[in-house]
Structure 1
């Protein structure tokens, strides 16, 4: 599947990904020359963020304001 929209990994402290705490991790996933099938992607926190700021992670489409999948980090 080739992505046509502006897709990003979003981090947040809530699960709605529309809060004032939301931030982008890494570059856009939009690249019409690459299919993301069983690919490894390395994400780096922005300089002003720590793991305490990252409770939820989402693949977020800016163009459609849509969540394409998310997860919540929990302590063991």
Structure 2
């Protein structure tokens, strides 16, 4: 969230958020096809209505999605 807030502040975005996506790395000869999640920054597009914050948010494509971890490799196959 710190990354999204910092980058959003540079753009003048007042109500920033994140959307969580599920992804899958492509299978190759060198690597298995691991699942992952990544966080995509969002920004408010409309303050009208009382429908909830998620409806008034769109992806902020000017900020790169955050896709990094420090958890290591998933467990080995049994």
Identify the structure with the greater helix proportion: 2
Same fold judged by TM-score > 0.5?
no
User: Scaled by the length of structure 1, what TM-score is found?
Assistant: 0.27
User: Scaled by the length of structure 2, what TM-score is found?
Assistant: 0.27
Work out which of the two has the higher radius of gyration on C-alpha atoms and give 1 or 2: 2
**Structure with more relative contact order (C-alpha pairs < 8 Å, separation 6 or more):** 1
